[in-house]
Amino acid sequence: MKMTIDGREICPKPGQSLLTLCRELGFPQQKLSDRPLAAKIAGEVFTLNYVPVRLKDSQSDRPSIRRAMEASNGMVRLLRYGDPAGKECYIRTALFTMFLALKQLGFRGKASCTLGSSVFVQVEGEGFCTARLKQRVRELVEADIPLIRRRVPIGEAVERYTREGQTDKARLLRWRTEDYFDEYCYGDFSDYYYGEMIPSTGFLTVWDILAVDGGFLFVYPDDNDPETLATVPSMPNFFGVFTEGERWCQLMECETAADLNDLTASGRIRELIRVNEALHERRFSQVTDMICQRGAKAVMLAGPSSSGKTTSANRLATQLRVHGRKPILLSLDDYYIDREKIPLGPDGKRDLEHINTLDTQLFRENMRSLLAGEEVEIPTFNFLTGCREWQGHKVRLDDRSVIIVEGLHALNPQMLPEGVEPKLIFRMYVSPLLPLNLDDHNRIPTSLLRLLRRTVRDYETRGASVQHTMSMWESVQRGERRWIYPFQENADVMFNSSTLYELAVLKKHIYPLLTAVPPENSCYEAVRGLVKVLNYILEADVDDEIPPTSLVREFIGGNSFYR
């Protein structure tokens, strides 16, 4: 058969890998930004160790064309570090190599949280030395170890991981419904990172290890310039709130997916819900105390998509009433300029995440006037017509009033009026920083939880298909990287809006829709990533236990603030 790899034709021989074919075609192998890392075939991501054409059996010379190759009519697109799926393959391989090095040095590690383009790894054991780990990783990279996946019976995998002391992974695999497990091995070390790898450790040309208290940071390449290391920003607020989330995990005895499954199977997930909701209510109360003690007259509340901003604003308003304040809720959405006035970008589309879609000047003027005690008419944006309307919505503050402004750009300095006393404005950042791990080596990304939330919400409350939500997600994330994350550390307080129980609840609402997406669909690979995680989560039918003011209700429906 003929194949087309990134527009170049080639006739593969049986047994040749994609990596071999790429080298025959002369694709770049030096610069990380140019080097192929993986391939997309018929909507699925494959390792470059994938063999497109095999011999039908050992006794025959008849070739056998692989299913994905037939489905794609021989079309292959190579993935590089600039492709999200290519970057993920690189990171998985980096984690495998790093944990292999730790094991060889006699230490155990746990992937904790992502800090910019790095991951914080906690280390167990005395005498850990970052320099020794860095040297061992460098040796493994220079050895250019091939990363070949193998399939083993699930019972064998569970037994081996238990024997090796990786009880977290053994407990997780007991919840796997298939009778097999795929893993990567080197020597006496085996592991898996729930997705494809790059062909070998020698591809890891850009990385670093930095010493920090309690472990180290494994640093990845810069997204915009993969030939250089990413700059690790100082994120004390983020790290502090994530650490608080880990304490909550310990308090509720729910640190991994296996813990959550045990609680679901025993029925104790209902107690988990009650405790988690009580912790959230207590935190909202503490934040309100901070606002009142400062004497703030405005709360600017921001957060990425599906973080629970609207529910957080309303719950904050309830707590302010307990303190005798009169909360006034405002949304930055009402300051959108008319859609027809937004210029088209180079791609012919309007970037609705850009701060220039808001009338920032009008908002600053309104805020300045309100804080000066003047009456202001607030606009209303009509999303059906795409135009701003004036409906006589007038607002004036008195001595007990507090404005709560929620929106994507609420922490951007461009939104703050000049000449206003800083203490009058309290800044709050909301994000679901899920501290729950699949196992010690595999985090559940915050972005995955937010995508699940958004997919469920868009389907349940807006009638949007899985494909529609998925198709917008990359654009949404680009906007967040530009307009949200650079300002999150400006917040006076960060609120972790995740709940430890919600994956089990969300699965009931969305799993059948995800598994119905066919491989040829353009969003299949993104859907597959969600399904891989949810396959390890036991579904919980406990919606009746979730209070109507819960942040989770913003996504599954039944939120009392929307009635």
**Distance from C-alpha of 121 to C-alpha of 134, rounded to nearest angstrom:** 13
List, for residues 325-368, the tens digit of each pLDDT value: 999 999 999 999 998 888 877 777 778 888 989 999 999 999 99
List, for residues 146-187, the tens digit of each pLDDT value: 998 899 999 999 999 999 888 999 999 999 988 999 999 998
CATH number of 86-219: 3.30.980.10
Q: Do domains 86-219 and 236-562 have the same CATH topology?
A: no
pLDDT higher at 546 or 481: 546
Nearest to 288 by CA among 325, 233, 248, 240: 325
Average pLDDT of the chain is 92
Share above pLDDT 90 across residues of the chain, in percent, rounded to a whole number: 74
DSSP 493-555: EEEE---TTHHHHHHHHHHHHHHTS-TTSTTHHHHHHHHHHHTTS-----GGGS-TT-TTHHH
Is residue 135 predicted with pLDDT exceeding 80?
Answer: yes
For 260, the token pair is 């959550």
Residue range 236-562 forms a domain whose CATH class is alpha beta
Domain ranges of the chain: 3-80, 86-219, 236-562
**Distance from C-alpha of 249 to C-alpha of 255, rounded to nearest angstrom:** 5
Is residue 7 predicted with pLDDT exceeding 70?
Answer: yes
For 526, the token pair is 């993104």
Is residue 66 predicted with pLDDT exceeding 70?
Answer: yes
List, for residues 415-471, the tens digit of each pLDDT value: 988 888 989 999 999 999 999 999 999 999 889 999 999 999 998 877 889 998 998
pLDDT of residue 67: 83
Sign of the alpha-carbon dihedral angle for 235, 241, 243, 245: negative
Nearest to 456 by CA among 500, 513, 408: 513
pLDDT of residue 418: 84
**Distance from C-alpha of 547 to C-alpha of 247, rounded to nearest angstrom:** 23
pLDDT of residue 368: 94
Share above pLDDT 70 across residues of the chain, in percent, rounded to a whole number: 98
Those residues with Cβ within 8 angstroms of residue 457's Cβ, 6 or more apart along the chain or in another chain: 306, 554, 555, 556
List, for residues 364-389, the tens digit of each pLDDT value: 999 999 999 999 999 999 988 999 99
pLDDT of residue 58: 55
For 544-555, what is the mean pLDDT? Answer: 96
pLDDT of residue 61: 58
pLDDT of residue 472: 87
**Distance from C-alpha of 438 to C-alpha of 479, rounded to nearest angstrom:** 28
List, for residues 279-307, the tens digit of each pLDDT value: 999 999 999 999 999 999 999 999 999 99
Is residue 28 predicted with pLDDT exceeding 70?
Answer: yes
pLDDT of residue 234: 86
For 480-509, what is the mean pLDDT? Answer: 94
pLDDT higher at 130 or 187: 130
